[in-house]
Amino acid sequence: MTRQWHDLSSTAALSGLYLRAARKRKITGDTLPEQGLRSYLEVNPKQLEDYRKLCHFSDDGRLPPTFPHVMAFALQLQLLTDKDFPFPLLGLVHLHNSIRVVRPLGGISHLRFSVHVQNLQPHEKGGTFDLVTEASDGLGLIWAETSRMLCRGLKLTGEPEADVEPATPSLSELTRWYADSDIGRHYAKVCGDYNPIHLSATSAKLFGFPTAIAHGMWSKAMTLAALRGHLPVSGYEIAVDFLKPVRLPSEVILNASPTAAEGQLQLDGHGDLQHMRGTWRRLD
């Protein structure tokens, strides 16, 4: 498939994109659009400072590895609420997220982002697709992300891939933190992600959750901040599967492999709850 690109001078306002998302409640097709979006986006210093505080990243002169996701959020939303995108944004479930830090994220004031969707596949609960986001500077690709999203109720031909149960790794506790009842609203204020399932118990119940749940990308950001001594400055990939949501408020425990070129992690709750599992590796 030949990708078609639409270049934007700026992204649309989040308020208008959320209004567009609220109006679309039904699946309107089963084919992903071929068009992607591209735009130059500036680093907002105040947002960056607030994000570091929120997610416990130190100011080391580099962008946190999850911050380009925040920069690209409006561009992603613009693609996922376009009239040609067949699935309603509200109700999509974030199953998996992989980030590649290709080169060091230091000395950056702006980046050129591109977003597109691909890889539509049947799933036992509907269908999945990949939202691919890439960021480039004057030297080329510097950062990339793939988010696998589930659209429940989508009917596709073919058999879904069987889940492979991973081997239970030998991990030790690295740290733990408390996700308070306000963290979803704090994350939304800094990052712009106002999904109702994260904001309050009242709004979360409208989508089938008994209480508000933490943003998955906040949990991943907190994990990356805690793993800063395990990961190189660049040239690595860290991928996670989002499992049971973190209900607010609650305490979570991060377990990880020792410092090494490759490793595994788990974000657990109390009892048998497993919220997230993942791996990191050096890029070839």
Per-residue HEC secondary structure of the chain comes to CCCEEEEECCCCCHHHHHHHHHHCCCCCCCCCCCEEEEEEEECCHHHHHHHHHHHCCCCCCECCCCHHHHHCHHHHHHHHCCCCCCCCCCCCEEEEEEEEECCCCECCCEEEEEEEEEEEEEECCEEEEEEEEEEEECCEEEEEEEEEEEEECCCCCCCCCCCCCCCCCCCEEEEEEEECCCHHHHHHHHHCCCCHHHCCHHHHHCCCCCCCECCHHHHHHHHHHHCCCCCCCCCEEEEEEECCCCECCEEEEEEECCCCCCEEEEEECCCCCEEEEEEEEECC
What pLDDT, on the 0 to 100 scale, is given for residue 168? 67
- 21 or 260: which carries more pLDDT confidence? 21
CA atoms within 13 Å, Cβ hemisphere of 253: 11
Question: Could you tell me which of 41, 99, 90, 39 has the C-alpha nearest to residue 193?
Answer: 90
> Which tens digit of pLDDT belongs to each residue from 84-125?
999 999 889 999 999 999 999 999 999 999 999 999 999 999
> Which tens digit of pLDDT belongs to each residue from 48-93?
999 999 999 999 999 999 999 999 999 999 999 999 999 999 889 9
C-alpha span between 235 and 283 (Å, rounded)? 5
| Res 156 pLDDT > 80 | yes
| Res 169 pLDDT > 80 | no
> Which tens digit of pLDDT belongs to each residue from 191-232?
999 999 999 999 999 888 899 999 999 999 999 999 999 999
What pLDDT, on the 0 to 100 scale, is given for residue 208? 85
Residue 112: count of CB within 10 angstroms of its CB: 15
What would be the CATH architecture of the domain defined by 1-160?
Roll (3.10)
What pLDDT, on the 0 to 100 scale, is given for residue 259? 80
Read off the pLDDT band of 161 (50, 70, 90).
Answer: confident
C-alpha span between 260 and 84 (Å, rounded)? 44
Mean pLDDT of the chain: 95
Contact 10, 39 (CB under 8 A): yes
Does the domain formed by 169-284 have CATH 1.10.3720.10? Answer: no
What pLDDT, on the 0 to 100 scale, is given for residue 1? 59
pTM score, whole prediction: 0.95
CATH 3.10.129.10 in the chain: give the residue spans: 1-160, 169-284
What pLDDT, on the 0 to 100 scale, is given for residue 217? 98
What pLDDT, on the 0 to 100 scale, is given for residue 170? 85
Question: Could you tell me which of 110, 109, 131 has the C-alpha nearest to residue 120?
Answer: 131
> Which tens digit of pLDDT belongs to each residue from 134-155?
999 999 999 999 999 999 999 9
Q: Rounded mean pLDDT of 150-173?
A: 83
| Res 269 pLDDT > 70 | yes
Contact 203, 240 (CB under 8 A): no
Of 35-49, 156-170, 185-199, 224-238, the poorest mean pLDDT is in 156-170
| Res 166 pLDDT > 80 | no
